[in-house]
Amino acid sequence: MLSRTADSIYWLSRYIERAENTARIIDAASRLAALPAGYGGSTNEWESALLSTGSLTAFEQQYDVASAENVVEFLVFSGANPSSIKSCLEVARANARAVRTALTIEMWETINTAWLELRSHSSRGLDLGRLSDFLRFVKQMSLTFDGSVYRTMLRNDAYYFSRIGVYIERADATARIIDVKYHVLLPPGAQVGGSLDYFQWSSILRSVSALTAYHWVYRQNLKPWLVADLLILNSEMPRSIAACYENITRYLDLLARDYGRQGPCQRLSRATSSKLESANITEVFQSGLHEFLADLIDANNRLGATITEQYLV
């Protein structure tokens, strides 16, 4: 297929995934911001949301205070924020239009409908009381899009690029979410009895919709190192970095098989995969959780750039 078409499909998928991640991060931040100080609501959760979405610097150029209203406006509507939900949907739609024929009708309609609906929301009109409805709409859109990709797309290279886009974006988001909160995540065996950080941990899980999953996997109350384990190393958890890399590796291999050629992407992806497979959470904490995540984010960015070089330009 054309590199340009592959590029559009890849980024389209990334931006839809990003819109959903931003919606989850806002949702989790608004819950944590609703807690009284002393239950974990003491730090500025809205600033954490900006950090998790990688948009704090851009935000500070526009606003003085990280208040709920300002942050929501910036993360949801701001045209000045290239990762705002609105910007994400606009880029996604622009890419979808560019390669309209490479998409199925269901995929196109999902994006176009969401884009039309978003235009009817004006930034000033969204009070915080309506926020959760709006975030639900964003998540719903992403679920519908994912479902239409899964159920209607041919299983060929176009599909592989769309999956790779989703998982590269997701690995990045999960790593950032954990990294912003790494200071509340303690190593195995740490004394956590009656810790007020409970609500911080549950918020991390909520921002990747994994609170219920946590209980099903570990069948015990929240332990910070298990939260880290679930989101980094547990490949059963579809938003864990390990699961993302399992998938990235798989779809890159399918590309290599179809094209009859391996390249630097496949090597980079396999290296990260095997690093995640062989790691255990105790060692991760020993070598430094933040350093581990910083390396992952870095490797993920490098892989993204390499995919672009190898296939998309």
Residues near another protein, by CB under 8 A: 7, 11, 14-15, 18, 30-31, 33-39, 43-44, 47-48, 51-58, 68, 79, 82-83, 87, 90-91, 93-95, 97-98, 128-129, 131-133, 172, 176, 179-183, 198-199, 202, 212, 214-222, 290, 294, 297, 301, 304
In the DSSP assignment, the letter for residue 41 is -
Nearer to another protein among residue 24 and residue 181 (C-beta): 181
- Shortest distance in whole angstroms from residue 192 CB to another protein: 12
Cα 214 to Cα 99, 166, 193, 208, 250: the distances in Å are: 39, 22, 19, 11, 25
The distance of closest approach from Cβ of residue 30 to another protein in the complex, given in angstroms and rounded to an integer, is 5
**Within 13 Å of residue 144, how many CA atoms lie on the same side as its CB?**
16
Tokens of 167: 């998982």
The CB-side HSE value for 24 (13 A sphere, CA atoms) comes to: 26
Residue 151: CB minimum distance to another protein, A: 24
Q: Answer for the pair 227, 240: CB distance below 8 angstroms, yes or no.
A: no
The C-alpha atoms of residue 252 and residue 266 are separated, in whole angstroms, by 6
User: Please, which residue, 81 or 148, has the CB nearer to another protein?
Assistant: 81
Nearer to another protein by Cβ, of 125 and 216: the residue is 216
Whichever of 262 and 306 has its CB closer to another protein, that residue is: 306
CB of 257 to another protein, least distance (A): 27
Grouping H, G, I as helix, E, B as strand and the rest as coil, residue 301 is helix
Identity of the residue, 212 or 286, whose beta carbon is nearer to another protein in the bound complex: 212
Q: How far is the CB of 128 from another protein (least distance, A)?
A: 5
Other beta carbons within 10 Å of 213: 18
- Cβ closer to another protein: 38 or 125? 38
* Closer by beta carbon to another protein, 131 or else 254: 131
Smallest gap, in angstroms, from Cβ of residue 294 to another protein? 8
Cα 160 to Cα 305: distance, rounded to the nearest angstrom? 17
DSSP code per residue over 203-263: HHHHHTT-HHHHHHHH-SS--HHHHHHHHHT-TTSTTSHHHHHHHHHHHHHHHHHHHT---
Residue 25: which of 146, 187, 170 has the closest Cα?
170
Least distance (Å) from another protein to the CB of residue 263? 20
Amino acid identity at 114 = A
Q: Which is nearer to another protein, 68 or 242 (CB)?
A: 68
3-state secondary structure of 117: helix
Q: How many CB atoms lie within 10 A of CB 16?
A: 31
Least distance from another protein to the Cβ atom of residue 300, Å: 9
